[in-house]
């Protein structure tokens, strides 16, 4: 047992608890962030003072952005280009060289997400228990190798094996990225939007790159696409292994004072920093939380749309213009539209509180309009063909809704294991949707694919209803919390500036959002003097089944 945890046992013994009765499990619940504070002699009062320094926090968040976001964004861009390599290959000579048909082609992305589904939670579990950045760097190198091997495929079986392995190695990327940015709850939607918008950037860069590759005459274009993507990805994986920190506490660019401030920000947002303890009670709580299942259903339907558009969108465009190179070039504006949709959609919840579910619903409207136009417009006229292209460009707005939904588990769920589990469950739905989506696009219905259009419309309308139900649930929870807080009538003792020191302390034991609301309250007799003299956390916590400290949740852990 570490010296820090021994120290906590001694503190608890000082409160009159017999040595033989010390609750070892409670002590071991301390997350890595709290251990860092104690090992470096940062009191919660000092952390609260750091959080009250607005200039320090602004400088620090800019530093975090420039340290963490670039490697995440570049990785996400490469991941999207690599996933889209198959659809670009299909525009060129993949079908003729390998002998596959469109129905077999629809199974290739499904196999990718079946592997993603199987591998995602084990990878996430491993990343929590070990060094997250090293796991990420290793899988990036591995999926680059798989991409290069894909160029050697000659039939459906070999292509299927490569797509399955690619899905297995890409599985941990998005869940781990969500956990990395989870420390700063207020900025989560926009930060998630930044690296998700790299999908659109990847679409533009990929379109330009593959247009150039399409001029190659010495080897089949589809093989050149996979070789180029794989080689670049391997090089980037090595960079990630060297440069990306496992977490903020291990990042060399941050001083102890800056790390303590980031720990405080994570605690105030109920997101924490990191805990290596996997708690099965938190897994159960996540699986019984209706919020998790509403987000899961929303994501499932959203990714049914994505599974179809991502893999058959280029073939829809090719059905309009016929030429493979022109199809590749006309796909470039779609990436620009995607960047605009994602950045604007994730900025709005950052600018307006409790707007996430509203934005999730609103950004499905262009998808409904675009799908209707692709289905119904006459493609025999120039005006109709231009209309189909414009519809293809705007149909991708649904991705902004996905980005917001995908980061809500890390924003709304307390307890590190509960957040990891909630995120994993939502990503299971992400996989299932992408497995099912391509099969709504039938070869006999090319290039209009009316069945696929009907499925997209049904999924989009259902998502709007789910967003409404989710908003009702979260507002109801916030209302109950506020009412209970008012009835408890407890004050804000121990505040430093605009920061409540009790809020910094409350998640020391890695509590879930349900446990914070229902099981604990802070003794209102705590004073600044008590905090400055290093009074034990355990002396300031009292069990309560109904009381909640007002202000602790800062507008509600259940952000709507």
What digits encode the pLDDT tens for the residues 368-408? 999 999 999 999 899 999 999 999 999 999 999 999 998 88
DSSP designation for 384: H
Residue 495: per-residue pLDDT:
52
Q: What is the dihedral of CA 107, 174, 190, 56, to 10 degrees?
A: -170
DSSP designation for 533: T
Residue 85: per-residue pLDDT:
92
Residue 123: per-residue pLDDT:
83
- 3-state SS string for 91-127: HCCHHHHHCCCHHHHHHHHHHHHHHHHHHHHHHHHHH
Q: Considering only residues 23 and 57, tell me which one the structure prediction assigns the higher pLDDT.
A: 57
pLDDT band at 537 (very low <50, low <70, confident <90, very high): very low
Taking alpha carbons only, the member of 428, 397, 402, 436 closest to residue 109 is 436
**Residue 542 pLDDT exceeds 60:** no
Distance between CA atoms of residues 177 and 47, nearest Å: 26
pLDDT band at 535 (very low <50, low <70, confident <90, very high): very low
Q: Considering only residues 488 and 78, tell me which one the structure prediction assigns the higher pLDDT.
A: 78
Taking alpha carbons only, the member of 257, 218, 233, 210 closest to residue 145 is 233
**Residue 532 pLDDT exceeds 70:** no
Residue 483: per-residue pLDDT:
79
Question: Is 177 in contact with 423 (CB distance < 8 Å)?
Answer: no
Residue 10: per-residue pLDDT:
41
Residue 538: per-residue pLDDT:
29
The DSSP bridge partners found for residue 543 are: 520
Residue 164: per-residue pLDDT:
96
Distance between CA atoms of residues 351 and 478, nearest Å: 20
Q: Considering only residues 420 and 453, tell me which one the structure prediction assigns the higher pLDDT.
A: 453
In order of their start, the domains of the chain are 1-30 (no CATH), 54-480 (1.20.1250.20)
Distance between CA atoms of residues 149 and 265, nearest Å: 44
Q: Please compute the mean of the pLDDT values over residues 101-121 and round it to a whole number.
A: 89
Distance between CA atoms of residues 260 and 283, nearest Å: 28
Write 292-297 long-range contacts (CB < 8 A, 24+). 292/409, 292/413, 292/422, 292/425, 292/426, 293/425, 294/466, 294/469, 294/470, 294/473, 295/405, 295/408, 295/409, 295/422, 295/426, 295/470, 296/425, 296/426, 296/428, 296/429, 297/429, 297/466
Query: Which tokens belong to 215?
Result: 């001029």
Write the pLDDT tens digit of every residue in 483-530: 776 666 544 445 555 555 555 555 455 666 666 665 433 332 333 333
Question: Is 309 in contact with 192 (CB distance < 8 Å)?
Answer: no
Q: Considering only residues 397 and 446, tell me which one the structure prediction assigns the higher pLDDT.
A: 397
**Residue 276 pLDDT exceeds 60:** no
- The distance from CA 229 to its chain's CA centroid, rounded to whole angstroms, is 24
Write the pLDDT tens digit of every residue in 317-341: 988 988 888 999 998 999 999 999 9
Q: Which of 7-11, 113-117, 183-187 has the lowest mean pLDDT?
A: 7-11
Residue 292: per-residue pLDDT:
95
Q: Considering only residues 20 and 281, tell me which one the structure prediction assigns the higher pLDDT.
A: 281
Distances, alpha carbon 13 to alpha carbons 23, 26, 31, 185, 537, in Å: 10, 13, 20, 35, 12
């Amino acid at each position: 047992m570490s010296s820090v945890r021994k120290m906590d046992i001694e503190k608890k013994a000082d409160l009159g608890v017999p040595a033989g009765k010390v609750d070892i499990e409670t002590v071991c619940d301390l997350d890595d962030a709290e251990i860092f504070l104690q090992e470096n002699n940062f009191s919660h009062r000092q952390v609260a003072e750091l959080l009250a320094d607005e200039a320090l926090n602004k400088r620090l968040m800019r530093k975090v952005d420039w340290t963490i976001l670039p490697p995440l964004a570049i990785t996400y861009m490469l991941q999207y280009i690599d996933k889209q390599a198959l659809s670009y290959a299909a525009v060129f000579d993949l079908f003729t060289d390998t002998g596959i048909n469109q129905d077999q082609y629809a199974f290739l992305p499904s196999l990718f997400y079946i592997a993603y589904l199987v591998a995602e939670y084990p990878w996430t579990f491993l990343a929590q228990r070990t060094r997250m950045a090293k796991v990420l760097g290793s899988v990036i190198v591995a999926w680059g190798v798989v991409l290069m091997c894909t160029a050697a495929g000659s039939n459906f079986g070999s292509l299927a094996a490569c797509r399955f392995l690619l899905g297995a190695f890409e599985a941990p990327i998005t869940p781990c990225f969500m956990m990395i940015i989870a420390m700063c709850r207020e900025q989560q939607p926009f930060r998630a939007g930044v690296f998700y918008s790299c999908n659109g950037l990847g679409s533009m860069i990929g379109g330009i790159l593959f247009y150039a590759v399409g001029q190659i005459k010495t080897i089949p274009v589809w093989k050149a696409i996979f070789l180029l993507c794989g080689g670049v990805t391997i090089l980037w994986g090595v960079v990630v292994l060297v440069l990306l920190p496992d977490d903020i506490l291990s990042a060399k660019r941050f001083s102890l004072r800056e790390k303590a401030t980031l720990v405080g920000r994570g605690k105030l947002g109920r997101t924490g920093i990191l805990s290596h303890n996997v708690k099965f009670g938190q897994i159960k709580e996540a699986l019984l939380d209706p919020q998790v299942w509403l987000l899961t259903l929303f994501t499932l339907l959203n990714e049914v749309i994505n599974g179809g558009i991502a893999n058959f969108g280029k073939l829809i465009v090719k059905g309009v213009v016929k030429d493979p190179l022109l199809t590749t070039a006309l796909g470039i504006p779609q990436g620009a539209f995607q960047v605009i949709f994602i950045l604007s959609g994730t900025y709005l919840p950052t600018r307006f509180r409790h707007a996430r579910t509203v934005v999730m619903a609103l950004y499905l409207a262009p998808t409904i309009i675009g799908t209707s136009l692709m289905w119904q417009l006459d493609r025999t006229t120039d005006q109709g063909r231009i209309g189909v292209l414009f519809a293809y460009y705007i149909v991708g707005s649904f991705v902004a809704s996905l980005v917001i939904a995908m980061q809500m588990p890390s924003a709304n769920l307390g307890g590190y294991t509960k957040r990891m589990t909630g995120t994993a469950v939502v990503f299971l739905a992400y996989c299932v949707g992408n497995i099912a989506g391509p099969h709504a696009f039938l070869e006999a219905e090319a290039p209009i694919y009316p069945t696929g259009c009907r499925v997209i419309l049904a999924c989009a309308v259902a998502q709007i209803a789910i967003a409404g139900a989710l908003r009702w649930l979260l507002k109801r929870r916030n209302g109950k919390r506020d009412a209970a807080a008012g009835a408890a009538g407890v004050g804000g003792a121990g505040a430093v500036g605009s920061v409540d020191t009790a809020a910094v302390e409350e998640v020391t034991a890695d509590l879930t959002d349900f446990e914070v609301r229902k099981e604990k309250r802070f003794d209102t007799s705590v004073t600044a003097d008590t905090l400055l003299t290093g009074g034990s956390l355990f002396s300031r916590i009292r069990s309560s089944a109904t009381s909640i400290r007002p202000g602790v949740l800062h507008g509600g852990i259940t952000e709507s």
